[in-house]
Structure 1
Amino acid sequence: MLKIAGASLAAASVPATASAAEDEYPWSVAETPIDSTLHDVAHTATNAHAVAAGGLVIERAAEGWEVVLQGGSTGNGNDLFGADVTDDGERLWIVGASGAIGEYDVTTGNLVDRSAPNDFTANFNDIAVTGPAGEADVYVADDSGSIHYSFDNGEEGTWEYEVPGSGSGLPAIDFHGDRSGHAIDTNGRVFATDDGVTWNPIGIEDADVTFYGLDSDAEDDVTVSGGNASVFTYDGSQWLPESLGDADLRDLETDGNDGVAVGSGGAIFELEDGDWSRTPTPIGENLQAIATGPVDLAVGSGGAVLER
């Protein structure tokens, strides 16, 4: 709730960028200063931020999107794949290739490099943080099936790791409580934790698609997206599958019976009153991530940003 509140204050002064297709489509195209793939996006206490290939971070400022960080957390230009914010929205945590982890203060522009915990340099695909700035619990999912975690704001020497599955890559991790959340792997498994350390498999049997996106809202409220426009919803006892079309759904956010999923070919599916339907968009670029809020944002290849 604090994340949304912070984003609301910031968004009030940031006008959406209009496009020529604004009257035809519910989503408009925003101009960005980069053409590299944007892999994730998040609302913060100031403005929305998105992370990209080449270690770039861009911010949705009053004058439009602008580059605020180059080179990533290490300065080496490692691709950035995931982002999340502290509960107060003041710190943007970023992760990426070759063990890159950074803690970016969106209010001051200060960046702390927390890369390669315990000398791990695998590709870090996604990150979840809980708690306030400076006191966060940090969880990082990597391409080798490990979840790295620190209960001391990512300070050196405080990192541990667990391998919840068979070593398959973990594309997404999300938390609904301080130490309660879920993770997915590329082998069709979903894992749950209630202490931030111990992970137990909770499905999904016979999914037969690759998982990409995850939204963890409660122990009995989990949604996973994947190939063939597949969406799986967990109610605490069983998984309910649904196929929406033929796009690979890379990310989604849901809130009860409403939500948004994004994927390949500019695909956006919207959940309204429990029913999914495809929404037309003015672009064909692959979309990688969604962040809902005062302004809904979808980001993807070629520096594409859609706003609503």
Structure 2
Amino acid sequence: MGFINQTIPSDFLLLGLSRDPELQPVMFGLFLFIYLVTVIGNMFIILAINLDSHLHTPMYFFISNLSLTDICTSTTTIPKMLVNMQEQNLSITFAGCLTQACFAMLFVSLECCLLAAMAYDRYVAICYPLRYTVIMNWYLCRLVILVSLLSSTANSLLLSLMMLWLSFCKNLEIPHFFCEITQVVKLACSDTSINIILIYIASFTFGGITFSGIIFSYIEIVSSVLKIPSVKGRYKAFSTCGSHLSVITLFYGTGLSVCISSSVTDSPRMTAMASVMYTVVTQMLNPFIYSLRNKDMKEALTKVIGRMISLS
């Protein structure tokens, strides 16, 4: 491959999930539906929590922030893909690709932090119920959100800006539906060892450490719950963790599938399909998980929908 005589390349090409022209209208309709459901569903969750005073607790505070993060994650990836399908144009500028990669990393990292914070919240609620309001005070909750946002932003900016030092080859085709940073780095013709090391560090920090914190929290939760003498008490304690466990399984399970698929197969298209799960499908399903498995959330959503119907 030849080199471009500049660090900043021309437009990249997002190859998407399929080049079959007959599938394009179907995929456009499918991803438009997914995006609308994601945005509307998560907006309902945010509205229900903000309008119902009974839900003004740390747990629901983190859920509303998770819903906002899910909206932002989907907005970072899906609209550009829909525009490219509609215009039958695969290109994305280098600046646009860099921006998309930066925001995608930011919101995925933030989601990892929020899921870990929610696990800690459940750990305190079940293991130290009498001290819950003292430990999980609003100052700590807001501090956790601020630190998570700042660390995620710093990480995504560092990894994105490091790509400015790379020289790219003439082949600028990204076999993905968005500018995923590892796929962009693979297109570079210059030394990418520092970039790869930083990506591994970021993955370990925001994926490995947060997941380890979640595992530790739930080991302690299970240990405490098993000490509860009544079956009804154990069920009630576990039920408060049901929705969170479902979201964790979905998010980290699909994220792990991406790692496995990229290591066992040479097909970038298969890796892209796996990435759809943790960057698109998970964000769409989260509102349903929290609304269907949570009685308080059901009641709050019913009130919001009732108000909207009465106003219309």
* Structures share fold, TM-score greater than 0.5: no
Structure 1 or 2, whichever has the larger Rg, is 2
Point out the structure with the larger helix share.
Answer: 2
Higher relative contact order (CA 8 A, sep 6+): 2
